[in-house]
A and B are shown apart, each in its own frame.
Chain A
Amino acid sequence: MQDAFVSFDRVQKSYDGETLVVKDLNLAIGKGEFLTMLGPSGSGKTTCLMMLAGFETATHGEITLGGNPINNIPPHKRGIGMVFQNYALFPHMTVAENLAFPLEVRKIGKSDREAKVMRALDMVQMGDFGGRRPAQLSGGQQQRIALARALVFEPELVLMDEPLGALDKQLRETMQFEITNLAHRLGITVVYVTHDQTEALTMSDRVAVFDDGRIQQLDAPDVLYEQPQNSFVAQFIGENNTLEGTVAEMHEDMCVVRLDDGELIDALPVNVSEVGQRTKVSIRPERVEMNKDRLAPDAHTLKAEVVEFIYMGDIYRTRLRVAGHEDFVVKTRNAPDQRRLKPGERIEIGWLPQDCRALDA
């Protein structure tokens, strides 16, 4: 991306001089973009955020903000708003004083300051809480204040480090919506770190999936979910069934994989190119078809035995024994024509070739 607002260029980071926590990171973030860094703990996502904020220095490589290298600029001169995991609201100051803090250190006049603080509080619907102490607020309210404080000095870039981790599920969903709304309304660029994939998928323009110090895939949420580029991403994002085997036939836009117990299935070659390669094929539970009529006449099918049937309200979740594994999950919509399977029943399953991706082994 030419007009990248934030860019990481071949950035590496090591704490102990022996192992790299971040390995060769290249990332360009456009202005106004909501980018989420998603990954398991220890994958290097928080380190990247801290390097961007200036609390960690890159061991190698360059980070630019608005075209200027910022490696040697101390954090307080970067003008980046940040929301911390535990909110980091100053406990000895009132809410209004917390919000006024970044304006005070920028030597903004008192009247101007008060106006901005009020505007920021109103923005997060906390206008009446200016006189309270952080300890007198609920978790969700503290979260809003932390957000308002990160936005009050009108930064162009806001970093958020798992800001919703401490909230309960319902509050988290409301806040997800509010944060994205606010970010888009103000046109700010947001870099958001989380290990919660639902959060990442629902909020972001693009998601960078981190593992082992590298970005495994950087794509829009739908692409990430439907077209994972490797088996880590397939496993990490959403629920996924994995079958292992060897490529038996290669065609133009599909291949046939021989599973380890000898059965054949159709798949879309993603990371495989020739016959004989080991592969992990990945199928989403909701794309498994139990009705043979919907498959192509020559499609390969697998025999399956029902191990467990779970009624979950809106969907049925059926666990099957397939190709020797007992953890093959199928999700079906709770529709009038959908049959409830009983454990021990034997059925046949299949899928459209494009839904089944042959990834790296």
Chain B
Amino acid sequence: MSKIYSKFDKIYSNNIAKTVGFYPSFLLLFILAIAFTACRPDEAAQIQTPYSLQVPDGFTSPLIPDDNQLTFERIELGKKLFYDPVLSRDSTISCATCHLPSKAFADNLPISVGIQEREGFRNVPSLANVAWHPYFFREGGSPSLETQALGPIVDEVEMDITVAEAAARLRNDEDYIKMSKIAYDRQPNAYVISRSLAAFQRILVSGNSPYDQYTRGNQNALTTEQIRGKDLFFNQLQCATCHTGFNFTNYNFENTGLYENYEDEGRARLTADPNDIGKFKIPSLRNVALTPPYMHDGSLPSLESVLEHYNSGGSTHANKSLLIQALNLTAQQQSDLISFLESLTDETFINNPEYQ
């Protein structure tokens, strides 16, 4: 048997030798081409570094889409885009123009302002802990951070540019081309823009406020006033029915009796259901003291005015939540509640260099 193999090997070797003899340069090129090509499919995967999201104690793990698992390279690309005005028509504003790190990735204007001072029609929400939100925008029409990310870019009163045009700009930039290739193995396009912006926003985690430190056992993290306010918030009033869980929201939609007639119809804008008029997604209260003015239209300038609204029971509206009733709080109780809300400010979040 071994004799047969030896004979075969000999013939085969001779043939190779002949080929090598006749076409040495061709063979060399062929081998190099295969070696080069073989490396390419794994290139992105080899270079990418998985990012492990630090989930604070008491938080659940967020759901992250299979096609957009977190890596340092995706986050870095998203961060670069987030701060780059290239995504606006006249290259004057970026995502960070409205979502300021020092304001918990919101701002202090009643209504957002887009390019050429175009006025939007709603107050800017904070981006803290958006990884846990099940839907986006105040009527909840966008089902993922990926789809949400394109909204402000194309909106005519915000950045007012088509995604195709924005992507074309990025394809003229060597850095973006290289980063997109590594992060998503493709040229800059809608997929890359939406995924990378979503990846960056997912790491914006706020879970180290004095309130968090207190719940983890640091009894000195809250003042006496704040502890009284916490007791009011969770035990004596109905605040925590809606502003519940580690993110201080149940993500439902409620009409809080802000108006008798809503110019902005809220969720009804999406559903066309009259029962949804005036209903808006319940916001998280994390870092709330940093983000005045308040409500969907920025109509209440301070936490005091917000408490006054709830204390009075608000306006009459057919869709108003039954939970909104006059509270008749004393001045001390209102002050305690505000102190508690201030304890949700997370200094490590707003100063985190990883986000800036």
Q: Do A and B come from one complex?
A: no
- B residues neighboring A (CB under 8 Å): none
- A residues neighboring B (CB under 8 Å): none
